[in-house]
Chains A and B, each alone.
Chain A
Amino acid sequence: MRVLVIEDDAETARYIVRALRGEGHEACSQSNGRDGLRVALSGQWDLFIVDRMLPQIDGLEVVESLRRSGSAAAILMLTTLGGVHDRVQGLNAGADDYLVKPFSFAELLARVAALGRRAGRSGATTSLRYADLAIDLLSRTATRGGEPIELLPREFRLLEYLMKHAEQIVTRSMLLEHVWDVHFDPHTSVVETHVSRLRSKIDRGNAMTLIHTIRGSGYTLRATK
């Protein structure tokens, strides 16, 4: 993906660009809102990473301007300390995701990957398939190798999210946000517990395990022998 980072703190910008390039993305940065917007509008980009506080033109305005100009690229906003208004304001302005500084490499890369996938997704789908796993979004049922699997509602949502991001790493915070609609970390094992319960239902008795835990990063749905 071609990623433009608009961030006024040089060290943070360097950190982000390095992480992105390490993953194989093309990345460069601008250090203020005005230049950032100019470069954004005059180039072809797949993803913008915009800091909330920028000199000259502030982050929210940059995001709004990008959307107004008809840009369909994904936008990830960054903010320090996560003020109570920030996330909602950012999403209302047109951002697709929101990340509180400081964040780990893994978190950043996982969210960038998820946004990349989002950009490519087509319209409404009623079923998802990966390997021999299939789920029906209307009837909320799951099968593996044709055999039905009993899932609780929360487990289904978890599986749905994993499948939507198949072969990508999804972090704990992403799961908390999208599966539980919780935007703080309760520091409990709720995510781990649910993932392992799901794993035992999905992977039990199967030679091919699909749900994996990536230490230090999160979880992923991937077909491996």
Chain B
Amino acid sequence: MTGFSFIVLFGVILWSTTHFMRHQIDDSVANEIDEIVTDPQSSNPAGLASVVTGLARHSGGFYYLLQDSAGKVIAGNMPGLDPKLGIREWANPPRAERPRGSAVRGKGVAVDGGYLFVGWSTHQLREMEEMVTRSFMWGLTASVALALVGGVLAGRRIMRKIESVSETTRDIVAGDLTRRVLATTAGDEFDHLAASINSMLDRIQSLMSELQQVTTDIAHDLRTPLSRLRQRLESAQRPDAAAAELREAVAGTVGEIDVILGIFSALLRIAQIESGARRSGFATVDLNELLGTVAELYRSSAEEKRQAFLLSVANNLRVRGDRELLLQLFANLVENAIKHSPPESTIALSASHEAGRACIVIADNGPGIPAHSRTKVLQRFFRLESSRTTQGSGLGLSLAHAIVKLHEASLELWDNEPGLRVTVVMAETPA
């Protein structure tokens, strides 16, 4: 950009100075011609010739030419020219001084009996052009050099910043997740970049610690069935084990393996849901039908515990989501309510419109969750209890949490005074 404006500036100055000088030459030439032509002696050809001869002898810098109509030189200090009229330039001055490219610029007029030309050397003009060009070249070189130096310096500063970011990320890759990129207060693009990288690192760090927690929980959940499995098989190995005992051990083994497989299955689903894999399968889900099915699935369980099961769903309640996942979510919550409430209690499943959102509530009047645990549980919902990956709906609360997040819904726990009230709120969708 700088170079370009420089060149434009150069062009403008060059043009205006040379234009000025050319103009000056034209003016003096015009004056000189005027003086010659208006000289009283010039009223006749012979007088004109002697005027021109006289002027040429003075050699004041002007070039003179007077030739007759046949082209023969009568007076002056120039060779003959073709009798062009008006302002013209002649490229071959006879004088010794000859700056490259200089010419004679002048004007030709028709006179009585011939042709008169008066001109002036353009060598000063050429010199001016050369000088201006030369200064500009120097100026351009200087500014390019300055730009280069400035660029190198700025580049070095940028390199230093980039190197600092690289160093930080190297440390992070090596395992230190607490490192962050240093940001200055300059507010430049680098600080924006640093801020973005840092917030990404924050997210990664929180995901990593969530993952560590989940992995620990799952390892714990797996250890129990695996140990039971081992115990059964070990007792089946006893030499005095009877055939019936062996059969029982084998049956129990199959059962435990199913539990373990269920845990792995749940893990896979959680991972897939958390990666948003299912969002493309979203469709309109009628909550009436969905919650009706959930109620049907679990009513018998409630009845077995002599619990009352109440269902109340508003009409025209539709949400956008994955039917299968939502089914599992609410099945999970209802199953928990039934499991953790004593016999004779009441389980209520309801859904209503709340200002453009669907509000689904699973409430029980069991022991509930103490207030301080309730807030902890919200943050790490999957740590609600030790049976994190229950077999019930084949899912744990961590899966319920993942489903809620995938659907951009909210899940909250409240004191049902007494008991627990779980609310799931999601956007409603028109028919």
The interface of chain A, by Cβ under 8 A from chain B, is 81-85, 88, 100, 102, 154, 180-190, 192-193
Contacts and interface: CB of A to CB of B under 8 A. Distances in A.
Contacts of A180: 293, 296-297
Contact of B324 (A154, A183, A186, A188): A183
Interface string B246-258: 0000000000000
10 tightest A-B CB contacts, nearest first: A193-B300, A188-B301, A186-B297, A84-B272, A184-B394, A189-B300, A190-B297, A81-B265, A81-B268, A84-B278
B192 to A, nearest CB: 37
Given A184-B328, A184-B393, A186-B298, A81 B281 contact: no
Contacts of B328: 184
Given A83-B268, A182-B293, A189-B304, 17 more contacts: A82-B269, A84-B272, A84-B273, A84-B277, A85-B272, A85-B277, A85-B278, A85-B281, A154-B296, A180-B296, A184-B328, A184-B393, A186-B297, A188-B300, A188-B335, A189-B300, A190-B297
B300 A182 contact: no
User: For A85, A187, A188, A193, which residue has the most chain B Cβ atoms within 10 angstroms?
Assistant: A188
Contacts of A84: 269, 272-273, 277-278, 325
Given A81-B261, A84-B277, A88-B281, A187 B269 contact: no
Interface of B: 261, 264-265, 268-269, 272-273, 277-278, 281, 293, 296-301, 304, 324-325, 327-328, 331, 335, 391-395
B273 A187 contact: no
A187 B304 contact: no
Main secondary structure of the interface of A (DSSP, over half): loop
Nearest to A185: B394
A84, A186, A187 pick with most chain B CB within 10 angstroms: A186
B297 A182 contact: yes
Contacts of B268: 81-83
B300 A190 contact: yes
8 contacts: A81-B265, A84-B269, A84-B273, A85-B278, A182-B297, A184-B327, A184-B331, A190-B297
Contacts of A154: 296
Nearest to B257: A102
A85 B275 CA distance: 12
Nearest to B281: A88
Contacts of B264: 81
Interface centre among A83, A85, A187, A190 (most CB of B within 10 A): A187
Nearest to A176: B297
A179 to B, nearest CB: 10
Contacts of B281: 85, 88
Contacts of B269: 82-84
B337 to A, nearest CB: 13
A31 to B, nearest CB: 24
Contacts of A100: 265
A187 B269 CA distance: 18
Nearest to B327: A182
A180 B331 CA distance: 13
A185 B297 CA distance: 10
A102 B261 contact: yes
Contacts of B300: 188-190, 192-193
A189 B335 CA distance: 13
A117 to B, nearest CB: 26
A126 B276 CA distance: 42
A188 B325 CA distance: 18
Nearest to A100: B265
Contacts of A181: 293
Contact of B392 (A83, A88, A183, A187): A187
Contact of A188 (B273, B298, B327, B394): B298
Contacts of A184: 324, 327-328, 331, 393-395
A192 B304 CA distance: 13
A189 B303 CA distance: 10
A82 B394 CA distance: 12
Contacts of B296: 154, 180, 190
A188 to B, nearest CB: 4
